Amino acid sequence: MKKAVVLLSGGLDSATLLALAKNEAYCPYALSFRYGQRHEVELAAAARVAKSIGVAEHRVVDVEPASFGGSALTSNIAVPKHSRVDELDGGIPVTYVPARNTIFLSHALAWAEVIGSNDIFIGVNALDYSGYPDCRPEYIEAYERMANLATKAAVEDGLKMNIHAPLISLTKAQIIQKGCALGVDYSLTHSCYDPDADGFACGRCDSCLLRLKGFQEAGLSDPGKYQVQGSK
């Protein structure tokens, strides 16, 4: 069975991603990050998902992009709230963490080399998403080209490094349907940018609204826990 490093945030997309990698007969090594988030809710969700789906190993790595600030997810900046998806302005929001996916993929690339893998899975999406520039197909393609110039595995051993982004062109509803078909338990996941002290989702941030829209379009009820019960 081929080994693969799978980036696992604990959210809906990454849970689906992990199930997809395992369904494609990869032996998954799950990688999560403590990057200065204002809460630990998503890391707790990542641990639940990894245990539920099953992985060879799950590592949580500490990185420090929060030391530079610049994001509502890591700094004292208010997380934008909306009532409906159509209120999202389409620009890059303040929840964008500068260079986050570049940092995450670099660690994944290093671990992949160490365990003898040339496959990395990342759950980026370029349809129902917040507009982050490091979630676009052009970025993933460029990173893969760079990975094959920067690693011993590629340069000396002739192993092509593959960055898999199987969710990139799917709607949130399609992602949910795919995950349900693979038996993903979405009650274990967490998507909210601004949960309360008990881990309940706000129901109004970009991520919550896109998640709720996905479940609605998939004709399913969101099993997540929300601060306002009417959110579901």
Tokens describing residue 45:
């969700």
Rounded to whole angstroms, the Cα distance separating 117 from 99 reads 24
Tokens describing residue 155:
């340069």
Mean pLDDT by 10 residues, the chain (232 residues): 97 98 98 89 97 98 77 77 68 81 96 97 85 91 97 92 97 97 98 93 93 96 84 52
146-197: pLDDT as tens digits: 999 999 999 998 889 999 999 999 999 999 999 999 999 999 999 999 999 9
Residue type, 8: L
Kindly report the average pLDDT of the chain as a whole number. Answer: 91
Distance of CA 158 to the CA centre of its chain: 29
Measuring CA to CA, which residue among 39, 21, 23 is closest to residue 31? 21
Taken in order of first residue, the domains within the chain and their CATH numbers are: 2-185 (3.40.50.620)
Residue type, 226: Y
Rounded to whole angstroms, the Cα distance separating 88 from 112 reads 36
**pTM here?**
0.92
Helix axes 100-115, 137-150, angle to 10 degrees: 40
Tokens describing residue 161:
């490094």
